[in-house]
Homo-oligomer: A and B are copies of this chain.
Amino acid sequence: MSYHTQSFNEYIAQHHERFLAEFAKFIAQPSVAADNRGVQEMCDMVAERFRQLGAAVTIYPTAGSPVVYAEIGPKDAARTLIIYNHYDVQPEDPIELWDTAPFEMVIKEGVIYGRGTSDDKGELLSRIQAVEAWLKTQGDLPVRIKWVVEGEEETGSAHLADWVKEHAAMLQADGVLWEGGGYDEAGRPMFGLGGKGLAYFELRCQGPNHDLHSSIAPIVVNPAWRLVWALSTLKDANDQITLDDYMQHVRPLSTEELALIDAVPMEFEAMRERWGISNWIKGQTDHQARRDYIAAPTINICGFHSGYGGAGSKTVLPAEASAKLDFRLVDGLTSPLAERLLRAHLDRRGFTDISITDLGGEEFAASRPGSLVQHAAIAASQDTWDKTPIMYPWFPGSGPMHPFGVVLGIPLIFAGATWHPDIRAHSPNENIFVKDYVESMRFTAAFIARFASLEA
């Protein structure tokens, strides 16, 4: 089936100001999972918006933020679609780098600013508004929609996997429409079939019980040195991971996967320019950089902090040192494996004084190519933008796809294109373009139509 695009488009044009006013209310409500700020209020606001659609809404408490679950559309529809979004946002720090108030929606020259505009309130609300427009202009939905909106994606979705497992029967579906993709420097929509896993650890080493005068350095252990030495054994100066017994678990890429990866166009020159670098790490070619970006596991230092960091000099032997590491996981690697091998590696070298704190993990998940949701997304991209999307076999980033894509085994797609290359998600001046917000509604409608009608 298709749908009546003219009436749909007229509706969203007529209600444009109201839709943006709703968006402003969503932005004005902080919902920072990291410090549980406004999370319940935002949860209630999302639930209420679903009720306005006529959806059956349940708020599921978890040990963290509640999950908003909404069902809408005919119970006897031939196909069922899960849509995944999240209502929590990143902290607004560093607030002094914002040009506008983080929790105030400000529109300037076609750009909507505010925390959560792009990640992920804009997409969530534009999808809801698309369903409203569908119902008002097309009649009933052609599919059953099961909407899962969690509230702790930004802190690692610690409770979502268990929630999914507990509600496996309720969550049966034919496909999952994940958070949207974006588009690249050349304006091509970027869709994906999954994402890398993530293991996040804090390593900490304690030295003396307080900072000492550095003249004592010949006789008292310096925890910053300990951490430097320990880290230097995990990856060498050629950027090769040297964590014992780790890389052998990486499943080699298939010829098909390599072909999919090599087919992903990337605007390398524009990326380097945007990031202010002249070369890729290790002097990689663009060709190899593409493969590594998509398919290489990482051990990345997110932060290292110890001792004095102010202006000028202070002669101190620090009491402690800590480093935050994230491991991006490809197929074959898991977060428990990473932690076990890391502990063994450190112990084997005498670094038993370095503690490891697990700060959360998500497992690798990638759906097989050729699914209904993939075909529906490609068709909807052509319907909306007249463009064939770039198709990542999996994204280099991570998210809680594993419970849906692997545990429940439902084919999954990242599709939509609300993210442009300067979106500043997680950063000051987060933004989304007004045009992308509106086009997200059009894409959602086209996706629903295609998902309902394409041959399986």
A residues within 8 Å of B by Cβ? 34, 93, 155-156, 196, 198, 200, 207-222, 224-225, 227-229, 231-232, 235-237, 239, 275-277, 280-281, 284, 289, 292-293, 296, 298, 300-318, 321-322, 324, 326, 328, 349-350, 359-360, 395-398, 425-427
Please determine whether B315 and A198 come into contact, CB atoms closer than 8 angstroms: yes
Q: Which residue of B lies closest to A297 (CB)?
A: B218
Beyond the given A200-B313, A214-B300, A227-B304, please list 17 additional residue pairs across the A-B interface where CB-CB is below 8 A. A196-B215, A198-B315, A207-B277, A209-B276, A215-B328, A218-B281, A218-B292, A219-B281, A221-B281, A225-B239, A225-B301, A228-B228, A237-B350, A302-B308, A302-B315, A314-B324, A314-B426
Chain B residues in 8 Å Cβ range of A155:
312-313
C-alpha spacing A315/B328, complex, angstroms: 10
User: Given A200-B315, A300-B317, A316-B302: A232 and B221 within 8 A (CB)?
Assistant: no
C-alpha spacing A24/B316, complex, angstroms: 28
Q: Which residue of B lies closest to A359 (CB)?
A: B313
Closest chain B CB from A388 CB (angstroms): 24
C-alpha spacing A284/B301, complex, angstroms: 32
Q: Which residue of B lies closest to A35 (CB)?
A: B311
User: Given A213-B426, A219-B281, A292-B219: A308 and B313 within 8 A (CB)?
Assistant: no
C-alpha spacing A198/B313, complex, angstroms: 11
Closest chain B CB from A287 CB (angstroms): 12
Please determine whether A289 and B397 come into contact, CB atoms closer than 8 angstroms: no
Please determine whether A396 and B281 come into contact, CB atoms closer than 8 angstroms: no
C-alpha spacing A312/B292, complex, angstroms: 27
Please determine whether A303 and B293 come into contact, CB atoms closer than 8 angstroms: no
